[in-house]
Structure formats: structure tokens, C-alpha cells
A and B are shown apart, each in its own frame.
Chain A
Amino acid sequence: MSDQILIRGARVMDPATGRDETTDVLVGGGVIAGLGQGLAAEGAEVLDAAGLIVAPGLVDLHTHLREPGEEHKETIATGTRAAAVGGYTAVSSMANTDPVTDHAAIVAEIREKAAQAGLADVFPVGAITKGLEGESLAEMGEMVAAGVRVFSDDGRAVPTARMLRNALTYARAFPIEVVIADHCEEPSLVERGQMHEGVNSYSLGLAGRPAEAEEIMVARDIAVARLTGGRIHICHLSAARAVALVRQAKADGVRITAEVTPHHLTFTDEDLLTYDTNFKMHPPLRSADDRAALAAGLADGTIDAVATDHAPHAVEEKESEFDLSPPGTIGLETALAAVLTHAVAPGHVTLMRALEAMTSAPARILGAEGHGGPIETGRPANLVVFDPNEEWLVQAPFASKARNCAFLGKRLTGRVRYTMLRGDLTVLDGKATR
């Protein structure tokens, strides 16, 4: 195989520069070697990309890779394969591994395994508190030295305002920007809760997780971020009032960013009426009004990024009773198509804004250098090529080890054809190359 690849005739969309034009892209030596109309490259492998879109490889702020500790759900190899198939070149792995990613040795181990798999760059998220127990700060300095930029106890909120205050304050010690990312659900209001609280939870006899649980924690986090001058990121926003709080906080100059998942942009609590455990996640799917507020927040930039919260579980774990089933849906392989189908096609956000929220914006939050564009000569060739019009049925098997997918059985429009990590095709014709 030639070491040069010519992507011919695609529409290049680069949110980092605003470039949107039909042009050829030549890739060689792991970088973008040339951009321009009618590029000729002797001996290059040619990908005919007429009608396709080239964008920076997608970047995910919120992935559960499950390794080490829960390899029966997912491994770094299968998780990054799912990422590649979904068009991602970089993902950040959440800290709720076993042992918890709360020290540098685990960070190094995850990076090493990801490098061996070679399917996507993995940026491990470090735990804020030791063992995710919420009682004492993890050794953040050691993890920052090992390359960690984002810290989170995701799965649960930082339990006290004092702990959050100390984490945000302590993080200022480091020469680079360190982000504290919080899972915002007030614990006592969601204890034993199974779904969004409202008329559907009352009728289904499932304990609720009210939207106010998120609102309370987002309000707290904003106040503490203001108090400390710290840099906060709100994971998977789901409630309309919480979106409004973030919008106001940004206007007030608080150093805050936020993400939303494709499934919260797509589904509502009405989808739980058959007790399908693939729709059980934390925070839960909420009302149609909440969903509309999330789309509006994504459109106006209140919500910076789309993040998958890819949460693989074993089949038998998800096939249990609803209240015993673990929360979460996988999302890496469906994220782009879901956003195109449920946010772009209905006109809620532009295609360029959607791509920004999946590339340059998360890359900036994550400090993922070389990812998220810009698509310029000399830059690392981390790219996705997708067909915006291909309609497909989401079905198992997935590249992920898991199949607990909220989109299972749904039709989506938009499909990844090629993914390229530093010039190396990780996905060819929609299939992982290894």
C-alpha cells in the first residue's frame, strides 16, 4: 500500500477555520500534505469521495472504556475500535475503572494499551477523589504530569461544595488549564431513581430522578466556580433549567463549558414506556421541552460539545429487571449519525456547528493537540470522511463489545466511510481495519 492517500472531490468542512469547500486532500507521512482542486499524486491510494464530507476526526469528551477492571463489558481495544468506526480519532476515558484511574500508573497503562491498539488516541480522565469515594483529593499533580487534563468523578457528583471548591482551587497550581468535570445530580434526590420524574415515572411505577436534581448541582457548581475562579465542565446536560443556568454563567464570565449526549438530543422519557433498559441512563431521558432546550443550547454555543457517554454493559447485565439494570447506552458508533439525523436534519443546529461540537470544541476542552482540526497542510491527518445521506439501520453486532444501544433498531442518516489517525486508515469503507 502506498504511504500517500488522496481523498478526491470531498466537501471539506473544518470548524476550526470555517473552511467549507469541495477540494482534494492529500495525506502523506501522517500529515495533511496538500489541499487543493485537482491534486495529482503519483502512486497515491485514491479514495473517491465525491458527495462525501471530510471533517476533523471526532473527539469524545466522555467515554467509558471499562479497562482495567470490567473487560467483560468493553476493552480499550474494542472501545477504540468502536470509536474509529464512529469517526473518532480521540476519546477521553472516564475514571471509573477498577482500579480507579486515580493515579499515574493507571493513566500510563491505559495510554499504552491504546497505543498498542492504534485505533484512536485515548486521553484518560483522572478521578477527582481517591477511589471516586468523594472523601479526599486524588493526587492530581502526578496525573497532570502524566498528561491528564480533565478530572471527573463521573457517575456521581462531587459530593460536597467544599470538595469541589478544593479541587477547583488546587487545580490552579498547574501550568496548563486543568478542567474539573462534574456529573450533576443531587444524590439525595436521585437515590434509587430509575428515570426522569414526571407523569410517566408515576404511571410506570419507577422511582424518579427529577430535573431539579441536575438544576441544583449545576447551580452549586457555577457558584463554586465563581468563588474559586476555577475551570468547571458540566457533563451530559439534560434539563432545560440547567441549560439556562449555564447560559447565564457564561454571560457572567464564569469559566464553564458543557456537553450534551446524542441520546438526550434524540429521545424523551416517553421512550421508556416499554421498560426497555437501553433507555435507562443517568442523567435520564427527559421531557420534549428539555430536549428542545438542549438543541437550542447546542445551537447557540451554551453547550460547547456533543459527548457520547458511551457506557457499555454486558448483555446479561442489561437484560435484567429495569431497576437492577446498570444505567447507560453505548454511543460512539451512532453519535455522528444521531446528531445529523436528530439535530441537523430538523434544523436545530447547522452542520458546521454540529461538527464544531464534535471536533474543535471538545479537542480544546480536552487539550487534545493534533485533534479537532484545523485541516491545514502540515497538520496531523486525523480525519473522518462520511456520507451525509446514507441511511442505515442500527443493529448488532457493533464494533463495541457491547450492544446496549438506545438507537438499536432505529434508522439513522449519515454514515462514516473512512477514519484516519495520523494518516493511517483505521476505518475503510465503514469497517475497522484492525
Chain B
Amino acid sequence: MNKHLLSMHDLTAEDVIRILDTAESFREVGTRVIKKVPALRGRTVVNFFLENSTRTRISFELAAKRLSADVINFSASGSSVSKGESLKDTALTLQAMGADAVVIRHSSSGSPHQLTKWISGSVINAGDGTHEHPTQALLDLYTMREKLGRLEGLRVAILGDVLHSRVARSLSFGLVKMGAEVTLVGPPTLIPPDASAWGVQESYDIESVLPKLDVCYVLRVQKERQRLEYFPSVREYSRLFGLTTGRVGLLPEGALIMHPGPMNRGVEIDSDVADLPSSMIEEQVTNGIAIRMSLLYLLLGGSGGGEEPTDE
């Protein structure tokens, strides 16, 4: 495996399977009374979050702590970055502190790539601008495989603002890598024009796509896109492209509904749909911790491979 995880393109299909399999064994740790293993004792993980994201940060923090790593949270408010220090200077500070891994969330695409120039430890992309969010894709792949038993041949629609979604990029690249069939669905203004180059299909007609799916993956739609003329109104967006109560019945029996959160209930997904038993939204969160444990373990400590977590 690569030293860093910047993009799903950094992983082979074998890497993905190894991460998912390792997560499987770590998930059991979360069900214990003492939710902790000593795998990364003495290692330092820095959560370097320059964009607000409570859920991803907490998920990484819990994952690192359950592996017994020392965790430092370095976020924008109150840090030197908010005082005008450059990304490079902050990175050099983290480097000087001996970070073994830096988990970075940043509003600028490519920041994790840039960080690798200045940091000798592993860099993990926890979401960069409109580029990628690979650990979200991994936890989504984990959830799909767990519930449906496979990834190859799965028919998945990614619904919404694909153009600006880092989740959609990572998930598309990951699903295609694992042999799934991906269809991007949304208003044409929010679907990249060259999507076929990613090996995916595209459609603007949600109702023709839903009956053929194993997974309907709904993206958050930012209301500010309306101001930028990508679609006329939230109301029309919901009517044409939302996963509504009236439409959800078109999904085949057993198909999953997924969403990376946070949701705009009533915009891209109706409230009742989000709360259906086939909605995996809470499972996704739970699986996120196991996936991030797996990744930290494999990047920082698991180079020997195959080592099972042990009790402390």
C-alpha cells in the first residue's frame, strides 16, 4: 500500500479488500466494554482540520484512540492558520512535533498532496475541497459489501451535486475499481461533462434509474448552488431529483439508501425516506470508525500484514 491516502487512485483493488477485511476484525473492538487495542501505542496521529467537520474528526479521533495512539486535534479556530500562518509553516510545525500520521481536512482541493512535500509521516485525506474523501468511500464500500455481500456487479446510482462532491469522486473511483456499475444522476449542470472518462454512466432521469439499483446514494445539495444558477429553486430540485417518499417505492426490494451526511431533509431526501429500515445512514457512521482504525493500522503499524488485533 502507498504511504499516503490522498485519493482512491492510490489504492489497488487488493488494497481496498485488505482495508475492508481488516476493518471487519476491528469492528468487533467497538462492541466490547473496553473498546481499545494497543496496536498503535506510542504513535502520534494529528487531526489537522481546517474546515469544520465534527463527524469526520470525531470518527478519526475515536479510531486513533481505540488503537491507543496519541491524538492531537489541530483545528482552524485558535490555531496559527487562522492567524495567517501558511499551510507550509503549519505543516513543518506538525513535522517537528513528530507526527506519524496527519489526517487533513481542508476546503482547498489538493492540500493533502501539498502536505506530503513537507511531512515525512503518512498523510490521510479526510476530505479536500471538491476533490476527494477516500475514507468516506471506503466506509461506504464496507457498508455495501456487508449488507449486499459483494461489490462486483453492484448497480449504484450517485444522486445529486456530483460536480462539487468529493464523496462522489472517491466513491465513483472506488466502485469502478471494484467492478460495480455506477450511474451519476442529477441536474446536467451538476454532473461533470466528461463523466464517461471515469468509467461511469450518467442520467438526468431519476425514475428510470431507481428500479435498476442495488444502492441509491444520495448527496447533500448545497443551497448556495442555486444562487450560482445551477438549478432554479430548491423546490424544483427536490421535485426533479430528490429521493422523495413518492419515488422511493421504485427501488427494488432490498436496495440500500445511503447518504454521507449531513442531510438536508426535504431537499435531496425526504425525512421519511431517510428513516426507512433500508436507509444505512447510521450504519455508515458506525462503520466509519472501523474503516479508519483499519487504515491507520495498515498505514502506521500493519506493514507486516495479517496481524489480528489483540486484547490489551
Contacts and interface: CB of A to CB of B under 8 A. Distances in A.
B278 interface: no
A322 interface: yes
A204 B111 CA distance: 11
Interface string B121-147: 000000011111000000000000000
Q: Which of A198, A203, A205, A319 has the most CB of B within 10 A?
A: A205
A133 interface: no
A79 to B, nearest CB: 24
Contacts of A324: 108
B192 A206 contact: no
B125 to A, nearest CB: 11
Given A203-B169, A316-B88, A321 B111 contact: yes
B98 interface: no
B110 A199 contact: no
B120 interface: no
A202 interface: yes
A49 B32 CA distance: 81
Nearest to B7: A203
A202 B192 contact: yes
A199 B87 contact: no
Interface in A316-334: 316, 319-324
B87 A205 contact: no
Interface in A389-430: none
Interface in B161-212: 163, 166, 169, 192-195, 197-198
Interface string A198-213: 1100111111000000
Interface residues of A, number: 18
B88 A205 contact: no
Is chain A's binding surface mostly helix, strand, loop or mixed?
loop
B18 interface: no
Given A275-B114, A321-B108, A205 B86 contact: no
B279 interface: no
B108 A322 contact: yes
Contacts of B129: 205-206, 323
Contacts of A205: 109-110, 128-132, 166, 169
A2 interface: no
Contact of A275 (B109, B169, B192, B194): B109
Interface in A262-280: 274-275
B106 interface: yes
Contacts of B197: 199, 202-203
B86 A206 contact: no
A319 B87 contact: yes
Interface residues of B, number: 24
A199 B194 contact: yes
Contact of A202 (B110, B113, B114, B194): B194
Contacts of A198: 194
A205 B132 CA distance: 7
Nearest to A205: B131
Nearest to B195: A202
A175 to B, nearest CB: 48
Interface in A189-230: 194, 198-199, 202-207
B109 A322 contact: yes
Nearest to B198: A203
Contacts of B113: 274-275
Q: Is chain B's interface secondary structure helix, strand, loop, or mixed overall?
A: mixed
Contacts of B166: 205
B194 A206 contact: no
A319 B108 contact: no
B220 to A, nearest CB: 16
Contacts of B163: 202
Nearest to A323: B108
A209 to B, nearest CB: 14
Nearest to A277: B114
A359 B163 CA distance: 45
Of A194, A198, A204, most buried by chain B (CB within 10 Å of CB) is A204
Interface in B95-126: 106, 108-111, 113-114
A194 B111 CA distance: 14
Nearest to A273: B113
B88 A321 contact: no
A242 to B, nearest CB: 20
Contacts of B130: 205-207
B87 A320 contact: yes
A206 B164 CA distance: 9
Contacts of B131: 204-206
Contacts of B111: 321-322
Nearest to B88: A319
Contacts of B106: 321
A385 B9 CA distance: 47
Nearest to B116: A274
Interface in A283-327: 316, 319-324
15 contacts: A199-B194, A202-B163, A202-B192, A202-B198, A203-B197, A204-B131, A205-B128, A205-B129, A316-B86, A321-B87, A321-B106, A321-B111, A322-B111, A323-B109, A323-B129
Given A198-B194, A205-B128, 18 more contacts: A199-B197, A202-B163, A202-B194, A202-B195, A202-B197, A202-B198, A205-B109, A205-B110, A205-B131, A206-B129, A207-B130, A275-B110, A319-B87, A320-B88, A321-B87, A321-B110, A321-B114, A322-B110
Interface of A: 194, 198-199, 202-207, 274-275, 316, 319-324
